[in-house]
Structure formats: C-alpha cells, structure tokens
Chain A
Amino acid sequence: MSRINQAAEAQQNSSESPSSMPTVKPSFPSHKGKKRGPSPEKKGFFKRLSKQKALLLMSLPFVIWLIVFKYIPVAGWIMAFQDYKPQFGIFEQEWAGLKHFRDLFNEPMFYRALENTLGMGILGLVFGTLSAIAFALLLNEVRFLTLKKWTQTISYLPHFVSWVIVANIVITMLSPEGIMNNLLVGTGILDRPINFMAKPDMFWGIVTAADVWKETGWNAIIYLAAMAGVDPQLYEAAKVDGASRWRQMWHITLPSIRPVIIVLLILNIGNLINIGFEKQMLLGNNIVAEKALVIDLYALDYGIGMFRYSFGTAIGIFKSVISVILILICNGFAKRIGEGRVF
C-alpha cells in the first residue's frame, strides 16, 4: 500500500497541481510535521534520555519485535550460502558458496516458474493498470451522483474478500454448469460447455481476469483522487473550444494524472516478480499445474515441502535482486524521459 502513498506524493510534487488538490502528508524519511516538546538540540543526550524513560519503555518492545520478525529473516539469507540443516545452529553449518544458485539456474522447472511468474505478472500489470484507469476515467464522467457513489462502493467489495472466496467464485462461475458456460452456450458461441479450469492455456487469462474483477475498483481510488484535483477551469476552457467529453478525457483528464500513472507503473514493475502465489495456488489444480507454478510456489514446494531450506532461500534472494534491478531500471528510465520518479 505504500506505493499509493508515494504515488500521491508524486502527484503533489507535480508542478501543475492546483492548490485545491488534496494535500498528502509526506512519508517518513522526509517528515515535516510540527515538533512536539522542546527543541531536541537544547539539552544533553543523557539528560533528555532520563526524562524519556516512558517513551523508551514504550518503544523497546517494538524495536525487539522489528528485529526479531523483520530483520532476523533478512539475516537468514546466510542460509542460501550454506547447506543448512535445522538441527545445527546457524554458525555450525557447512558453507556451500554459490552452489544453491548454480543448482537453481540449472533447474528447468525454475525457468518454467520464472516464465509463469513474469507472464502472469505482465498480464496483471497491463490489464490491471488499464482497467483501473479506464474505470476511473469513466466513473469520473458519471453525472448522476447517486449512481457514481453506488458503483464505486460496490466496486470495492471484491477487494475486501479473501482470495479463497474469490477463487471459489471464479471456479463456480466457470464450472461446466456455471453462468459463463450458460451464457456462451445460450448465445450459441459454444456448442457445449467447456471446463475452463481444466484448460492449461486459459490459466493465465483466468488469473488475470480474476485479478481485474477483484482489484479494479480498489485500484481506481488513487486515480479518482488524482482526477478530483484537476482544475475545473481546464474543462471550462475546453468546452468553450468545443471539445467533446471524449476529447476532454483524453486531452485533460489523462495528461493531468500522468505523474500518478507513471509512479504507480514504476512501483508495479518493481513488483512484477512479487506477484505472490495465492491466486495460482487456489485457482490451480493438477491439470493446469504447468501453467500455475510460480516462483513462490516453487520455493514453497522445494524449500519447505522437500526440506531444501537453503535452496528455497536462494530463490527468495534471486527474487529480491530481480525486483531491485527492475525498479532501478524503471526509475532511471522515468528520470531520463523527465517524468516524476520515485526515488
């Protein structure tokens, strides 16, 4: 969700944003919030510390929590360079160098997992972004406010239900007795029902469609917020010039939200490889397994299922490295073409 925060910031920073736009608090590293209490520079460190015992006590448990639950797993990356066996301590392991990475790159299954991950990742990115922007653009044009409000409220609903439920919905709708087959057979497009969930070639498409169904309404929120900030005078001027509603959408609304679109794109491309495994695990089955195997499922099967912990960790490291590379490339590219960048 942090990416939404950053996108909002980028929007704020874009030069053409009018002052009436919703302002957004900057995120942590650059905070400018008002100061509480006396200015920190005036007293000595220990003097201040002794007065802040309560704060220290209040923060200590969380510092410990952060270290244990967030930083120890990062330190666990060391496992990828060892032949990790759980019965020994982390410092008593045998070192393996880059063996697990070599194994990984020699494994044909890994390339299939990578292909599936990037395939579904790219489809999800393209259709997810397009559908959210299109929905936001159209919703923004709805004049009948009650309809606008209700459509928006209803469109969020699928975001809040779990993937388990969505998977059940998708499987039910696409089953041979489901509505999709009824419609297709009823209108004569198909002669007889097909079992969509048992067609490997359709799996990527089904996952993408399910994703679009679930997240479009939610993802449109940030674009709608950006559109609400567009200067109404621009539309007035366009109307005087005789621009149609389509042309107004194309020439005013879209360019106005371009910084937001770019920032979200960069962040999403960085996450191309982090598409998770929930959808694939819940929608997949034995018949479509070859198309459903994504990197996280692969890590899960090999790393935990087969107790190859070091190998599984190596997969995780590979993912992080790719993700950093992707985001740096996109960020550099955005900088080159002179658009709002993330870092």
Chain B
Amino acid sequence: MKKRKWTTFDIVLTVFMLFIIVITLYPFLNILAISLNNAVDTARGGIHIWPREFTFANYQEIFGSNDRLFKAFLMSILRTVIGTIAGIVASTMLAYVLSRRDFVFNGFVGFLLVLTMFVSGGLIPEYMLIRQLGLINDFGVYIWPMLISAFNVIIIRSFMDNLPAALEESAKMDGANDFTIFSRIIIPLCLPVIATIALFLAVMQWNSWFDTYLYARNNEALTTLQFELMKILDNANVSSGDITSQNAAVIAGQTNPQSIKMAITIIATVPILLVYPFLQKYFVTGLTLGAVKS
C-alpha cells in the first residue's frame, strides 16, 4: 500500500480510536487499582488506575482466609473444564454424524438440531424439566443443559466438510469402522475448529451465574465465582447510595465486600484476557463462518 499524506480526517480518526481504547480499558484498570488498594483508603475515593495504599489483602481474603470464595473459584474452574470437554466431545461427535451425508438418519437428526435454533420452551418449562430430572442442587445442572449448541455443531460440521474425503475412504478400505475413523482421523484434523469451539464453551461456562442462581443456590458446594460476585452486587445494590452502611462495613476491618468484589472481578476477568486475543483469528473467521476462502 503506498504512503498517503495524513489528513485532518486521519488525525481525528486516530484520536477517536484512542478514545475508544481508553473508555474500554479504563474501567478494568480502575477496578484493578481498587482491588490492590487498601479497602479503608478506597472509601475516600479518588482511585483511578494506580493504587494509593498498595495491598494484597483483598486477594488474600479470597485465596486464603475465606474458604467459601476459594471453593467458588475451584468450582468455576471445575465446571469450565468438565463442561468444555463434555461439550467438545458431544458437538464433534454429532457434527461428524451430520457430516456423513450417507447416514440414513442424517436429515432427521439435522432437522431436530436446527429447529432448536428457532423454538424454545422458555424459562418455566425448562425449570420444570430440570426439577423433574432431579438436577436441582446437582453438579449435573452445569453440564447437561448446555451440552450441545446447534451453532457450534454447524461450525464444526462445515469445517469437516472441507476435509479431504480421500483419507476417510482409504481408512474405510482398511476396514476401519465409523467410530475409528471419527476418533483416529477426523478429530486430529479438526483441532483448529475444536480450539475455537472450546473457547466459546469455556467462556460460556466460566461466565455462567444464572444456573447457579436458579438451580443450585441452596447447595453451598456448587457456588461459583460469578455467583459470589452476583451476590455481593445484589447486596450492595439494595443499599445503593446508602453511604453510611458502606462506612460501617469499612470500619469493621481492613477489607470489605466492596473491595473483595473488585478482586473477584479481576480474578474472573484475567483468564478471559489471557485466552481471547490468541484465538481472535479463529473466532473472527468462525463468525463469518466456515473459513474464509477466495
């Protein structure tokens, strides 16, 4: 591309983009600074992107003294890991079956899947179903209802469609059955798309809080980081604007729910921050679906 002169337009545009970057990042930096600042000091206000009285007390509270928060952290990881693996296994297997146009029930299974993108029973019938299945206050409620998403299956299937058919044919000649072809040949070839879907699934699992709220709030062992954060938010919200009650909490100790809230926010954000930029090129093409070809 040949060099052009920088016009006023370019300068205004650059300033605008820098402005976008600032308003996107500032809140995260602000919360990071508050989470690293002494809770009593924070209440005085005026913390921007740099802590005034540096401390790790809020993080120590989560990872050390507060048993429930640490367990919530582990549970968030557990549901993310298991949910992602289960989701990947299910989606790839279903995608493979659907990529086999010669499968006798291909049309039927495909129809059942695609229709779910348009019809849904709604909140109450789903709640009743989970109840009847006995998944209330059970770890399974984090895994089963979210096992398959039609969108993910379609992305994987369209990737499989672009794989060379010859490999599969030759394996068939050697007498491999369909499951062997799937696990030995198709899966290794699909690793790029599997990475993308794994990102989607992991983010979804990591960010979930409503299923805990609705189905598992009475089981302390199943609480997650997001749900703990939501609870603090909920409590703070009720007294929103009630400065005196906040001060009372501040006087009580070195740290307070407000500062812990910031630390949880950071802990819940960091894994996403670490993962998404590297997978960016996958999900961008994933969105414009099925790989960009010219």
Q: Mark B88-113, 1 if CB is under 8 A from A, else 0.
A: 00100110110111111100011011
Q: How far is the CA of A162 from the CA of B50 in the complex (A)?
A: 24
| B125 cross-chain contacts in A, Cβ below 8 A | 72-77, 79, 313, 316
Identify the closest chain A residue to B199 (Cβ).
Answer: A160
Partner of B288, one of A8, A35, A40, A303: A8
Interface contact B31-A168, CB-CB below 8 Å: yes
- How far does the Cβ of A284 sit from chain B's closest Cβ, in whole Å? 7
Q: Mark B218-246, 1 if CB is under 8 A from A, else 0.
A: 00000000100110010011101101000
Using known A-B contacts A66-B148, A169-B265, determine if residue A160 contacts B237 with beta carbons closer than 8 Å.
no
Q: Which of A296-343 contact B (CB under 8 A)?
A: 296, 299-300, 303-304, 309, 312-313, 315-317, 319-320
Q: Which of A264-319 contact B (CB under 8 A)?
A: 278, 282, 284-287, 296, 299-300, 303-304, 309, 312-313, 315-317, 319
Identify the closest chain A residue to B276 (Cβ).
Answer: A160
Identify the closest chain B residue to A181 (Cβ).
Answer: B45
Which of B19-27, B51-59, B63-71 faces chain A?
Answer: B19-27
Q: How far is the CA of A67 from the CA of B10 in the complex (A)?
A: 55
Partner of B24, one of A74, A139, A154, A160: A154
Which of B77-85, B174-182, B188-196, B248-256 faces chain A?
Answer: B174-182
Q: What is the number of residues of chain A that contact chain B, defined by CB distance less than 8 Å? A: 112
| A316 cross-chain contacts in B, Cβ below 8 A | 121-125
| A76 cross-chain contacts in B, Cβ below 8 A | 121, 124-126, 128-129
Partner of A312, one of B25, B101, B124: B124
A91 within 8 A of B: no
Task: Count A-B pairs with CB separation below 8 Å.
Answer: 306
Q: How far is the CA of A38 from the CA of B126 in the complex (A)?
A: 41
Q: Which of B30, B265, B268 has the most CB of A within 10 A?
A: B265
Interface contact B265-A33, CB-CB below 8 Å: no
Q: Which of A20, A69, A285, A286 has the most CB of B within 10 A?
A: A69
| A59 cross-chain contacts in B, Cβ below 8 A | 94, 97, 103, 105, 109
Identify the closest chain A residue to B151 (Cβ).
Answer: A1
Q: How far is the CA of A116 from the CA of B286 in the complex (A)?
A: 34
A4 within 8 A of B: yes
Which of A105-113, A118-126, A142-150 faces chain B?
Answer: A142-150
Q: How far is the CA of A221 from the CA of B283 in the complex (A)?
A: 10
Interface contact B30-A221, CB-CB below 8 Å: no
Q: How far is the CA of A38 from the CA of B100 in the complex (A)?
A: 10
- How far does the Cβ of B158 sit from chain A's closest Cβ, in whole Å? 4
A-B contact pairs, 29 of them (CB 8 A): A5-B154, A28-B114, A28-B154, A29-B114, A31-B161, A66-B113, A66-B148, A68-B129, A72-B129, A73-B120, A73-B125, A73-B129, A76-B126, A76-B129, A77-B125, A79-B125, A79-B128, A157-B273, A157-B276, A162-B207, A163-B207, A165-B268, A168-B31, A171-B237, A221-B284, A282-B230, A303-B127, A316-B121, A320-B119
- Please provide the 7 A-B residue pairs with the shortest distance between their CB atoms, ordered closest to farther: A73-B121, A316-B122, A76-B125, A25-B290, A162-B207, A177-B45, A37-B102
- Taking Cβ atoms with an 8 Å cutoff, the residues of A that contact B are 1-2, 4-5, 8, 19-20, 22-25, 27-29, 31, 33-40, 45, 48-49, 52, 54-59, 62-63, 65-77, 79, 86, 135, 138-139, 141-144, 147-148, 150-151, 153-158, 160-165, 167-169, 171-173, 176-177, 179, 182, 195, 197-198, 213, 217, 221-222, 225, 245-246, 278, 282, 284-287, 296, 299-300, 303-304, 309, 312-313, 315-317, 319-320
